[in-house]
Structure 1
Amino acid sequence: MTTLRLGMAAILLLLVSRPRIAGWTRAQWRSVATFGVIMAGMNGSFYLSIERLPLSAAVAIEFVGPLVLSAVLSRRAIDLAWVSLAVVGIGLLGVESLTQTGSLDPLGVLFAVIAGSFWALYIVSSAHVGQRVPGTGGLAIALAFATVVVAPLGMSGLTVAFEQPLLLLPTLGVALLCSAIPYTLELAALRRLPRSVFGILLSLEPIIAVLSGWILLGQSTGRLRLAAIALVITASIGTIVTTPKIPRGTQPPLEPAYSPQRLQERGVGGESTDHVRPQDVVG
């Protein structure tokens, strides 16, 4: 599933972005390749964790990665307060999972912790790719790298999928809705938001998963889970409200120095900037 998801998402984004890779520098290639390996590790270890753990427990454990990253990157006391509030909310989800499912598979917990570590690295690496490679070409190539990394482990599953072609259509939907679209939106967000803020805003992902399971799948939701949802949503809203406003005329925190707008201001390049190297841009 991981191999098909990443591979189909890579094909879709490559068709849309058609990156001009001939002019990429070694630094750009290194960033994109690293990003691809991290995505492979994040997706692969998460699927290995939910093979052994309930989904709610796996997500709660995995989310420790972005929360720790937010705490490390935060410089203001209010940011740390919101992170702490989100940690309490995610902790309540973990407590609920433990009380409902009893003992958890230690190997599944280990895979969830590894997935969380890769998730934190994903945030940092995605920001670097967003800075160094304009457009979505870097993401498309990174997904191709990720597919190559996980392909040896997913070959048996690929055989089953192609023997039953009807499985490919829902897999394409998963690739579109779980990889191509969200990764593109996250890349765009990281070009405009500090990584500390982005990390805690990701806390909405497990909460939306809980709500979707409750509304769409009829999964029960007790008081503990509702309290966790309220805490994490409060932390996310608080992060947005207390984020310092960026004055007009200044650059967003993660916008690359060689973005199309900056290049046009300097009179550099034409319609496409894929061929422009960072060292060619002064300032």
Structure 2
Amino acid sequence: MHWLTFVMALQRVPIGTVLLGIYLAPLAIAGLAHCTLQERVTRGQLASLALALVGSVFVLQPGQAGGLDGLTLIAVSALAYAGSTLASKKTLSTVPTVQVATVQLAVTAVLLMPWLTIHPKLPSRVDVLVITSLGLVYSALALLAYLAFLRRLPVTTAGILLYLEPVSALVAGWIFLGEHPAPLTWLGACLVLVAGTMVSKESVSNTKAEAG
């Protein structure tokens, strides 16, 4: 549901608006973590979350909303993502990471397979290569890495660290594509990095305290 509504939203809404909407999911994760996982959300995590959200606004610079249907798709995608993260965290306490990732991707493949019959047109070779790389690297391997870290981190911390994603895209565009982001965009990236550093230090400190 998350990926399907995410792609559908990209067809209707500017990408900056879509991504910013999706990055509201960590707010829902933080709000539901205590109820569903009995995790305590600290003031430091809330401060980091607010800082990362403001930084993401500067980085993404969202455009027009794109209508009620676009906003609805974004909201559904964000809520589905938050639910998936919370469910994954709960499952990882008893099920190995590889099994969780395998079942998630297998169920997704089965449920979405009928869509291939709706649009039977074969993609080009380039499209096949791109889609294959998306499936292997950016879905399977990325999901495995994400679940491995989610198993070890508080779910709120993991959600906040997701704000590093648009920053990494910003840096990659600057290095590989010769893009020149505005100073306000770099300021937003710095705010996200500060937020990530804050929440990471707090997580390490809490882990040491629990171990001691």
- What TM-score bracket applies, with the shorter chain setting the length? 0.7 to 0.9
2:37 equivalent in structure 1 = none
Of the candidates 12, 24, 28, which is equivalent to residue 68 of structure 1? 28
Q: Quick one: percent identity of the two aligned structures?
A: 24
Runs of 5+ consecutive residues of structure 1 not aligned to the other structure: 1-40, 251-283
CA deviation profile, 1:242-265 (whole Å, cap 9, x unmatched): 223424995xxxxxxxxxxxxxxx
Of the candidates 243, 246, 268, which is equivalent to residue 207 of structure 2? 246
Q: Give the match's secondary structure for 1:191.
A: helix
- CA RMSD of the aligned region, Å? 2.3
- How many angstroms does 1:108 deviate by? 2.4
Distance 1:196 1:158, change over 3 A: farther
Of the candidates 151, 162, 166, which is equivalent to residue 202 of structure 1? 162
Q: How many residues align?
A: 203
Distance 1:137 1:75, change over 3 A: closer
Q: Give the match's secondary structure for 2:191.
A: helix
1:51 partner amino acid: Q
Please say if 1:55 is aligned against 2:29. no
C-alpha distance in 1 between matches for 2:62 and 2:109: 32
- How many angstroms does 1:92 deviate by? 3.0
**2:22 and 2:77 in contact (8 A); partners too:** yes
Please say if 1:85 is aligned against 2:85. no
- How many angstroms does 1:165 deviate by? 4.7
Deviates more, 1:132-141 or 1:151-160: 151-160
1:155 equivalent in structure 2 = 117
Q: Give the match's secondary structure for 1:221.
A: coil
1:81 partner amino acid: A
1:236 equivalent in structure 2 = 196
C-alpha distance in 2 between matches for 1:116 and 1:214: 28
Structure of greater Rg: 1
Distance 1:220 1:112, change over 3 A: farther
Distance 1:78 1:138, change over 3 A: closer
C-alpha distance in 2 between matches for 1:82 and 1:186: 20
Please say if 1:120 is aligned against 2:82. yes
- How many angstroms does 1:76 deviate by? 1.6
CA deviation profile, 1:137-163 (whole Å, cap 9, x unmatched): 2321221111122223343456423xx
Please say if 1:104 is aligned against 2:75. no
C-alpha distance in 2 between matches for 1:225 and 1:132: 41
Runs of 5+ consecutive residues of structure 2 not aligned to the other structure: 34-39
**1:66 and 1:119 in contact (8 A); partners too:** no
CA deviation profile, 1:111-134 (whole Å, cap 9, x unmatched): 222211111112112112322322
1:222 partner amino acid: A
Q: Give the match's secondary structure for 1:132.
A: coil
TM-score, structure 2 as length reference = 0.84
2:65 partner amino acid: L
- How many angstroms does 1:237 deviate by? 0.7
1:105 partner amino acid: G
TM-score, structure 1 as length reference = 0.64
2:105 equivalent in structure 1 = 143
C-alpha distance in 1 between matches for 2:28 and 2:95: 27
CA deviation profile, 1:150-189 (whole Å, cap 9, x unmatched): 223343456423xx45532322111122101110011111
C-alpha distance in 2 between matches for 1:247 and 1:81: 21
C-alpha distance in 2 between matches for 1:119 and 1:176: 20
